[in-house]
Amino acid sequence: MFINWKLREINLKIVYYGPALSGKTTNLQYIYAKTAPNIRGELVSLKTRGDRTLYFDFLQLELGHIAGLKPRFNLYTVPGQVYYASSRKLVLQGADGVVFVADSQEQRLHANVEAMHDMEENLRALGYDPRAMPLVLQCNKRDLPGIVPVPLMKDQLGFDGVPCFASVATQGTGVFDTLKATINLVVVQTQRRL
Amino acid sequence: MSLILPTKLAKQIEQILARLRHEVQAECILLADIGGRLISAQGRIQDIDPVLVAALAAGDVAAMTELTRQIGEESYHGSFLHEGESKSIYLFSVANSFILIVIFRADTPLGLVRLVGGRTAAQLSALSADFEELAKESHEVPSGDFGAALADELERTFGRL
């Protein structure tokens, strides 16, 4: 969290993390499509020619003054593909909260677990305690066949006590619930620390 | 990792950036942290999206840091330049934690930007060592009802989407 008292602005950085093709960019695209132009910036995607995230996607949301402060939310995604490990670590730098977008399909279980370990390792390398980082789990692609029950996914990822939302990001189901929960979690935890 | 910028420190930074802008006649000057958060901005920011520029500059510096690591350098302390046809950008690393971004007209002498920008980066670097102390001295914290008010506003804005 970054607060500029002269400008009375409060900035939060939220990072969407998860395995390749789990729907991280789709979350941001849906948020961009549904929010009013006056509260959002440009959706910028640094991607490959094959339309896959190379470095990150970025979207800024801004609300009006609340209790004398103007909140700004900077939303980032990380590239999910295994070989972009460095990019993922760098995007996590300065994160205030993480949305872990897991793919609910049974055959993606290993990729989810691998991404979770990668996230924890990167957080530790950046000096964060992974258990102290505000985290929300989003179990995405609930409309597809062959999906794992949500409680089992939580259990397999070791996310006990982590707020969890079932989603279909392509249709917007669960997208804003995830975002609201993450922002609220970050603010509550940060206020406790101040 | 929260960063609180008290009013007094924000003013000091603004003065340093304004001086640099005046000396090199820059279009605008931004200060961001390596996480991509915009800390301060001076100049004609209406022509750009400063928050986005800060995020992209942080990405650039992060990539350069990783590149230098790949060639065996321990950390990246330098600066780099994009020379455009009408406008150019110079990025200076500040104490490995912040990025000074200078956007200037392409006809401005590069040596001047490099010299004055480098000096300003060193000055900001010295100041950044006191960031934590100055932030601790500040008694400015969000009011207790901020969290609840924000939750209400989020519900009002995003609740039906």
- Are residues A3 and B142, on separate chains, in Cβ contact within 8 Å? yes
pLDDT at A40 over 90: yes
Residues of B in contact with A88 (CB under 8 A): none
**How would residue B62 be classed by pLDDT, with cut points 50, 70 and 90?**
confident
Residues of B in contact with A127 (CB under 8 A): 1
User: What are the C-alpha distances in Å from B19 to residues B23, B25, B129?
Assistant: 6, 10, 20
- A77 CA to chain B: closest CA distance, Å? 12
| pLDDT tens digit sequence for A162-186 | 999 999 999 999 999 999 999 999 9
Q: Is B34 an interface residue toward A (CB < 8 Å)?
A: yes
User: How far is it, in rounded angstroms, from Cα A179 to Cα A94?
Assistant: 18
- A87 CA to chain B: closest CA distance, Å? 8
- A144 CA to chain B: closest CA distance, Å? 22
Across the interface, of B36, B146, B154, the residue whose CB is closest to A69 is B146
pLDDT at A146 over 70: yes
Q: Is B38 an interface residue toward A (CB < 8 Å)?
A: yes
The DSSP annotation for B63-74 comes to HHHHHHHHTT-S
User: How far is it, in rounded angstroms, from Cα A30 to Cα A117?
Assistant: 27
B81, B90 in Cβ contact below 8 A?
yes
Q: Is A171 an interface residue toward B (CB < 8 Å)?
A: no
| pLDDT tens digit sequence for B98-131 | 999 999 999 999 999 999 999 999 999 998 877 7
Closest CA to A47 of A15, A31, A24, A14: A24
What burial class does residue B41 get, using C-beta atoms within 10 Å of its C-beta: 0-12 exposed, 13-18 middle, 19+ buried? buried
Higher pLDDT, B105 or B35: B105
pLDDT at A137 over 80: yes
Could you give the angle at the alpha carbon of A38 between the alpha carbons of A32 and A39, nearest 5°?
A: 60
pLDDT at A93 over 70: yes
- B93 CA to chain A: closest CA distance, Å? 15
pLDDT at A45: 86
pLDDT at B135: 65
| pLDDT tens digit sequence for B2-17 | 788 888 889 999 999 9
pLDDT at B67 over 70: yes
| pLDDT tens digit sequence for B76-101 | 677 889 999 999 999 999 988 899 99
User: What are the C-alpha distances in Å from A135 to residues A87, A116, A154, A178, B41?
Assistant: 20, 11, 12, 10, 31
Across the interface, of B4, B34, B63, the residue whose CB is closest to A94 is B34
Number of C-beta neighbours around residue A59 at 10 A: 25
- Are residues A90 and B59, on separate chains, in Cβ contact within 8 Å? yes
Across the interface, of B49, B62, B145, the residue whose CB is closest to A67 is B145
pLDDT at B139 over 70: no
pLDDT at A190 over 90: no
pLDDT at A17: 96
Residue ranges of domains in chain B: 7-158
Could you give the angle at the alpha carbon of A29 between the alpha carbons of A23 and A119, nearest 5°?
A: 40
List all residues of chain A from 129 to 168 with a beta carbon under 8 Å from chain B: none
pLDDT at A24: 95
- Looking at domain B7-158, its CATH class is alpha beta
Residues of A in contact with B149 (CB under 8 A): 66-67
pLDDT at A189: 83
- Are residues A60 and B138, on separate chains, in Cβ contact within 8 Å? no
Q: Is B106 an interface residue toward A (CB < 8 Å)?
A: no
Element housing B147 (H / E): helix B146-158
What residue of B is the nearest CA neighbor of A129?
A: B1
Count CB pairs under 8 A between chains A and B.
141
**How would residue A55 be classed by pLDDT, with cut points 50, 70 and 90?**
confident
- Mean pLDDT for the stretch of residues A100-108: 97
pLDDT at B145: 83
pLDDT at A21 over 80: yes
Residue A169 one-letter amino acid: A
pLDDT at A59 over 90: yes
Lowest average pLDDT, out of A19-28, A103-112, B137-146, goes to B137-146
What is the ipTM metric for this complex?
0.83
Predicted TM-score of the model (pTM): 0.89
pLDDT at B75 over 80: no
- Mean pLDDT for the stretch of residues B32-47: 91
Give helix A150-157 / helix A109-125 axis angle, nearest 10°. 40
pLDDT at B1: 62
pLDDT at B137: 65
**How would residue A56 be classed by pLDDT, with cut points 50, 70 and 90?**
confident
pLDDT at B73: 82
